[in-house]
Amino acid sequence: MNKALRIATALFLGALGVQADLLQNGSFEIAGSDAFQAYHWEWNNPDQNASSWGTASREAWRSYSGGYEAAIRGSWAGDTCGGWWQQAPAEAGVTYTASAWFWADASWSAEGQGLKIEFYDSMFGAPLAVATQLVHDVSESWAQKTVQAKAPDNAVWVRVVIYADNVGALGALQFDEVSLIAESGTVIVISSIPAVAGLLLVFHFMGVRFHQRRNAVNA
């Protein structure tokens, strides 16, 4: 499927109110620069819209689906904290829902751990707003956690963050199938490709809002 057709399909689904995941490689199935990194969750691979830190690692221990999951390991991995984040273009006034499936080893501990949505303007200073779902009650069975937040004025980027601070010595927090959904009937992000101009005119008369956004580079 060529690029114009992919965008046309996305526009059509958006007009029908179909919710699309804004994150890439949320199942961690595609490796990054090595087997312990994940494509689209690594700085400069392929862009600057994601990263991980500390004891973060891609593993194949017990994925919720597929063959891989993300992990934040205990201090046995050489640090006392860890996390992953990925961001996507945002539109002020739109409500976003982040979700992930979590598992924690019986030996795992951390003073703080959670799933967050953060909103940023184009300057990437302090977050404009943050919503957090703590995940301290996760155990050795997969459990889904979600957090929802509405983008404030001046929001340009919405970021999903999974983190753990002051981790214990043993075990790991694991998660899989991370998603970020914009509520249906909101905004469709497009590229400036002449092939879809006719469809945009049709969607205009259908009352579908759309805007143009260039690929972003985080500061």
Same domain, 30 and 121: yes
Q: What is the pLDDT of residue 12?
A: 52
Residues 5, 109 share a domain = no
Burial group, residue 72, by CB count within 10 angstroms (0-12, 13-18, 19+): buried
What is the spatial distance between Cα 61 and Cα 50, in angstroms, rounded to a whole number? 23
pLDDT given at position 140: 98
CATH of the domain at 123: 2.60.120.260
Q: Domain of 93?
A: 21-183
Question: pTM of the predicted model, to two decimals?
Answer: 0.79
Task: Give the pLDDT score at 212.
Answer: 46
- How many structural domains are present in the chain? 2
**Contact between 176 and 116 (Cβ < 8 Å):** no
CA separation (Å) from 92 to 46, 121, 168?
Answer: 26, 10, 38
Judgement on whether residues 139 and 218 belong to the same structural domain of the protein: no
Residue 148 and residue 70 share a domain: yes
Q: Are residues 7 and 90 in the same domain?
A: no
Averaged pLDDT, groups of 10, the chain, 219 residues long? 44 57 98 98 98 98 98 98 98 97 98 98 96 97 98 98 98 98 66 45 43 43
161 and 91 together in one domain: yes
Q: Are both 149 and 199 inside the same structural domain?
A: no
User: What are the tens digits of pLDDT across the range 51-88?
Assistant: 999 999 999 999 999 999 999 999 999 999 999 999 99
Residues 152 and 85 in one domain: yes
In this structure, the answer to whether residues 94 and 144 fall within a common structural domain is yes
